[in-house]
Amino acid sequence: MVTDSKDIARAVDAAAVMKLLPSRPRVLALGEPTHGVDTPLDLRNELFRQLVEQEGYRTIAIESDCLMGLVVDDYVTSGKGTIDEAMEHGFSHEFGASAANRELVRWARAYNDGRPASEQVRFAGFDGPLEITGAASPRQALTALHDYLSAEVDPDLLPCTAETLDRLLGADDRWTDPAAMMDPAASAGESAEAYELRVLADDLASLFDERTPHLIRATSRDDWDRARLYGRTALGLLRYHFWMADTSPGRMTRLVGVRDQMMADNLLALAERGPVLVHAHNAHLQRDISSMRMGDMRLEWWSAGAIVSARLGEEYAFLAMGIGTMHHQGVDAPPPDTLEGVLYALPENPCLIDPTHLTTALTDTPVVPRVSPYFGYFPLHPAHLPSMDGIVFLKDVPQNTI
């Protein structure tokens, strides 16, 4: 039991976060142990607001479709469309229904109003165009990349015409059949057309890279960044669809791995633009190997955060989030011999935990992993403490109310 919390727990604010870190990281990630509740997101909003205003972060990236996120970015930077349209068309995973996400978008638009582009906060989704039931057609990403190149590059250099892409892509529903998640035979990912599209997508991406100096001068860095996103996404989707059609024992492990690789590629690209604040599930951001059960299978993969951390070193920082209770999902007070149980006993709420001091305080108090009664909540693992830069802890998370 921790009897003195003064060196362990502090208020959750930007200044306290920065004191935990050796320097301002290029990518600062805040996790959450579950989806679908707004209390953690309300805390995220306040912390991210402070980090934008006090520490100069200029991009907020969340676990949502990277292509849909462009709709939100257009709204918060230029006022294009309405907030209702941004929430409806700019988020995947039903995150647009969240009142806290709506408040984040509202705040970003208000913050940017009247500011020059260099001082505006940008919004990004960094997940692929993926849902639990499957993946999007590669049409949007492939055709957008082809359109961008067609406008700026000699037609003789293009590997194919738009008509060829359209013919090979076929109807979108052949790519989006939800049955393909459980039945590889329902996937188009190993069809002859899919193989040809992977070659063409690679050629388009290669041509894009080769012509980068001209393309940035002829369009703009923002337009080039967006086209680069289309190229990454097209290649990632075609790779994901290939593994959906696979029948080997490694199929599901490769699918979750490909998804997080897409996330990592998007985060690394965003980090080239400047300091990034990231919010996603802990399992997508932690440095330790991630795992989950899917039926009888235990899946293990390296998260986007682990990949980015390996690439950026100390320029990546990870704040895990833990919770005490979520009664509406059957998650009651944590046992005292778990990490959450130790934190639940502290008087501060919410609080920011220094993992180093916590580890020292627990030297003579062994803790065991908490077992979740709810599949959608992932408890913190005590063995991961050394790889966390901080823990944001909330004692109680109520169900959202309208």
Give the list of residues 6+ apart from residue 29 with CB closer than 8 angstroms, or none.
277, 278, 279, 280, 285, 305, 316, 317, 318, 319
Q: What is the mean pLDDT of residues 146-170?
A: 98
- pLDDT of residue 1 exceeding 90, the answer is no
pLDDT of residue 131: 86
pLDDT tens figures, 243-264: 999 999 999 999 999 999 999 9
Q: 340 with 322: CB under 8 angstroms?
A: yes
Q: 251 with 34: CB under 8 angstroms?
A: no
The region that residue 134 occupies, defined by phi over 0 for left and psi between -120 and 50 for alpha, beta otherwise, is left
| Residues of the chain above pLDDT 70, percent | 98
From the number of C-beta atoms within 10 Å of its C-beta (0-12, 13-18, 19+), residue 177 rates as middle
Q: 47 with 17: CB under 8 angstroms?
A: yes
Written as one letter, the residue type at 396 is D
Task: Find the helix or strand (DSSP H, E) in which 394 lies.
Answer: strand 390-396
The whole-angstrom distance between residue 233's C-alpha and the CA centroid of its chain comes to 14
Single pTM value for the model: 0.96
- pLDDT of residue 226 exceeding 70, the answer is yes
From the number of C-beta atoms within 10 Å of its C-beta (0-12, 13-18, 19+), residue 239 rates as buried
C-alpha distances in Å from residue 308, one per residue of 17, 122, 263, 264: 20, 20, 9, 6
pLDDT of residue 383: 96
Would you place residue 267 in the very low, low, confident or very high pLDDT band (cuts 50, 70, 90)?
very high
Q: What is the mean pLDDT of residues 323-343?
A: 97
pLDDT tens figures, 354-386: 999 999 999 988 999 999 999 999 999 999 999
Looking up tokens 């951390």 gives 309
pLDDT tens figures, 386-397: 999 999 999 999
Domain ranges of the chain: 134-249
Q: What is the mean pLDDT of residues 107-123?
A: 97
- pLDDT of residue 120 exceeding 70, the answer is yes
Distance CA 39, CA 50 (A): 17
pLDDT of residue 70: 98
pLDDT tens figures, 4-54: 666 789 999 999 999 999 999 999 999 999 999 999 999 999 999 999 999
pLDDT tens figures, 287-312: 999 999 888 889 999 999 999 999 99
pLDDT of residue 365: 87
From the number of C-beta atoms within 10 Å of its C-beta (0-12, 13-18, 19+), residue 174 rates as middle
pLDDT of residue 3: 58
Q: 145 with 205: CB under 8 angstroms?
A: yes
Helix axes 221-244, 251-273, angle to 10 degrees: 170
Strands of the 276-281 sheet, one edge to the other? 9-10, 351-353, 390-396, 316-325, 27-32, 276-281, 59-65, 122-127
Can you read off the two tokens belonging to residue 393?
A: 């802890």
Can you read off the two tokens belonging to residue 170?
A: 């076929």
Q: Is 119 helix (H, G, I), strand (E, B) or coil?
A: helix
The pair phi, psi for residue 286, each rounded to 5°, is: -70, 155
Q: Where are the beta strands (DSSP E) in 213-296?
A: 276-281, 290-294
In sequence order, the β-bridge partners of residue 125 are 62
- pLDDT of residue 402 exceeding 60, the answer is no
Looking up tokens 């580890």 gives 359
Distance CA 349, CA 307 (A): 32
Would you place residue 133 in the very low, low, confident or very high pLDDT band (cuts 50, 70, 90)?
confident
Nearest Cα to Cα of residue 40 among 384, 377, 335, 383 = 377
pLDDT of residue 6: 67
Nearest Cα to Cα of residue 236 among 222, 255, 220 = 255
Q: What is the mean pLDDT of residues 329-350?
A: 96
Q: What is the mean pLDDT of residues 201-219?
A: 98
- pLDDT of residue 280 exceeding 90, the answer is yes
Q: Please provide the average confidence, as pLDDT, over all residues in the chain.
A: 96
- pLDDT of residue 207 exceeding 80, the answer is yes
pLDDT of residue 294: 83
Distance CA 227, CA 143 (A): 10
